[in-house]
Structure 1
């Protein structure tokens, strides 16, 4: 069996019934689409949502400013969902801008409303401003976990000593009708990279991934997290938020590292530089018997919030190489990792 791992810091429509099912515990089970052998993830990052219509936009053109508010962000997400019809929506942090959100619960409900109304499964991790309103970081995540259609989790059960809130993984199973139907062939890891340093006098700036989270804009501390990813051999891509004007992908030691850009209008940006979101498409191999097999490739592109939702920067991140992958990982286990830096 071949499996892929993506880390997402952190990542719908009538099709959702084809790609999700119950696993017996009432939780939706993510699954590759049996019609086309694909699993599609919409990454939305840095929404910076605050108080809706009352919240002005930042760094937009003069002719946009007068009627621009948080609802421009919501409209963008609705359009993305309609255009891309993702199987999973992933919010990679900075979901609300706490200092300007007078009621964290109302802001969170409004920020995630496009995903909730779409009936598509969604998941989220936190950024460095989500807890700066009326809820603590833990309670922000607890509220998200209790929202409709979300697959978000507070932390893994049985790991009470793990740092942060929102460390969990989601497994994606093979297509219905295939021999992989009961196999998890894609693993999505979500990690809380923290907000700010817990040792500001010695180490200023942002927080970092802690050793307790390594059981499988960066900080000054090198905690060895990336080394651990490389050592697993099965991590193929990491998707992150936080830097609104960074939206590039680069490869290091065989792992693709991708920024999502900025999706929200209340956070900093650049006038004339369209807000954007990232798509990730994972495709299965077609076997000789006509069944869908294990993961064949991972592609990504971005959509701009312009008149045509222009797709840009399409890129093949990884493709299955039988000899190489079998040598490195036996029958393979591949993953995607997602966090918020």
Structure 2
């Protein structure tokens, strides 16, 4: 059963994307990450917060249960009563907790919209949130996909990829929503590891924002992007993973967007402040608005045309 939310009376639906929080021990750097989230939450009136992976960063010798780390990390959102959704990154379950254990803990937290998803497909937390209009009918959809962690195929190095049965599931769900609604619902997709097309749009298309590191996408392209183009419903995708990239570019009618790295317990640059990406849908209006909110409270409404800062 899909989770359901609703557009506001003014027709808007606003999402905060926090990514790569990397909550590790609840100490000094985590408190600074909390301050980043608090600033963004104070500056924006969100209907939903999405954590796009690497929410926690448990170590082998950590004294704190990873489930407790998760509760600490989502605390700034849950304490305000804001609904939130989560997808896995590659670091969340590296030590001392399994994906099954963590998803169960996430689902049990206050205001969590996260679902475990079908057991017969790869990963955990492959699910959908429908957004209803004033009539009560679904007007938009949010897809959440587990992009895995690391390649498990001999001879294929690097990061994992979204599997074929996940793509088949997406296509099936997209068709069901279209059959029920009589049209393709404008949709957004969230995952942690960028698709190979993120590299392609940077090298061949027009992008806005910064690329300060390589696109760490999988070496295998399983065709999720092609499926989304063919289905004609997804208008934007959102990932994290690469902490020094925040650009977006439109490729074959879909806006491929990076979030803005939120957490301080991992690598970064002093000249690349932490923050979040904002996303706003408007009922009955094509496309979406998006902007960056920084830890200082500054709003970057229009990102500059593609350029790489040295």
| Structure 1 length-normalised TM | 0.72
Greater share of strand residues, 1 or 2?
1
**What do you get for the CA RMSD once the two structures are aligned?**
1.6
| Mapping 1:216-255, distance limit 5 Å | 216=171, 217-255=216-254
- Matching of residue 30 in structure 1 with residue 5 in structure 2: yes
CA apart distance, 1:105? 1.4
Question: How far apart in 2 are the matches of 1:213 and 1:296?
Answer: 26
Structure 2 match to 1:287:
none
- Helix, strand or coil for the counterpart of 2:285? strand
Structure 1 match to 2:302:
314
Unaligned runs of 5+ in 2: 172-215, 304-310
1:90 to 50, 53, 74: 50
Is the 1:245–1:269 contact (alpha carbons within 8 Å) kept by the matching residues of 2?
yes
Structure 2 match to 1:81:
41
CA apart distance, 1:214? 0.9
Question: How far apart in 2 are the matches of 1:131 and 1:268?
Answer: 19
- Helix, strand or coil for the counterpart of 1:52? coil
- Helix, strand or coil for the counterpart of 2:142? strand
- Helix, strand or coil for the counterpart of 1:161? coil
Structure 1 match to 2:30:
70
Structure 2 match to 1:280:
279
Figure out how many residues of one structure are paired with residues of the other and give that number: 255
CA apart distance, 1:296? 3.9
| Mapping 1:105-254, distance limit 5 Å | 105-156=67-118, 160-175=119-134, 181-199=135-153, 201-215=154-168, 216=171, 217-254=216-253
CA apart distance, 1:170? 0.3
Q: What is the CA deviation profile of residues 53-87 of structure 1, one whole-angstrom value per residue up to 9, with x for unaligned ones?
A: 1xxxxxxxxxxxxxx42011112112211210100
| Structure with bigger gyration radius | 1
- Matching of residue 299 in structure 1 with residue 276 in structure 2: no
CA apart distance, 1:99? 2.0
Q: What is the CA deviation profile of residues 207-244 of structure 1, one whole-angstrom value per residue up to 9, with x for unaligned ones?
A: 00101101212100111111111101111000011000
Is the 2:3–2:129 contact (alpha carbons within 8 Å) kept by the matching residues of 1?
no
Is the 2:151–2:157 contact (alpha carbons within 8 Å) kept by the matching residues of 1?
yes
| Mapping 1:8-27, distance limit 5 Å | none
Q: Which has the higher contact order (CA 8 A, sep 6+)?
A: 1
After TM superposition, what 4+ stretches of structure 1 lie above 6 angstroms from structure 2? Answer: none
CA apart distance, 1:297? 3.8
Q: What is the CA deviation profile of residues 246-265 of structure 1, one whole-angstrom value per residue up to 9, with x for unaligned ones?
A: 00101111100000021001
Question: How far apart in 2 are the matches of 1:163 and 1:297?
Answer: 30
| Structure 2 length-normalised TM | 0.79
CA apart distance, 1:163? 0.1
Residues 42 and 313 (structure 1), Cα distance of their counterparts in 2 relative to 1, 3 Å cut: same
Question: How far apart in 2 are the matches of 1:205 and 1:137?
Answer: 20
Structure 1 match to 2:201:
none
Is the 1:185–1:295 contact (alpha carbons within 8 Å) kept by the matching residues of 2?
no
Q: What is the CA deviation profile of residues 156-202 of structure 1, one whole-angstrom value per residue up to 9, with x for unaligned ones?
A: 3xxx3200001001000002xxxxx2211110000001001111x31
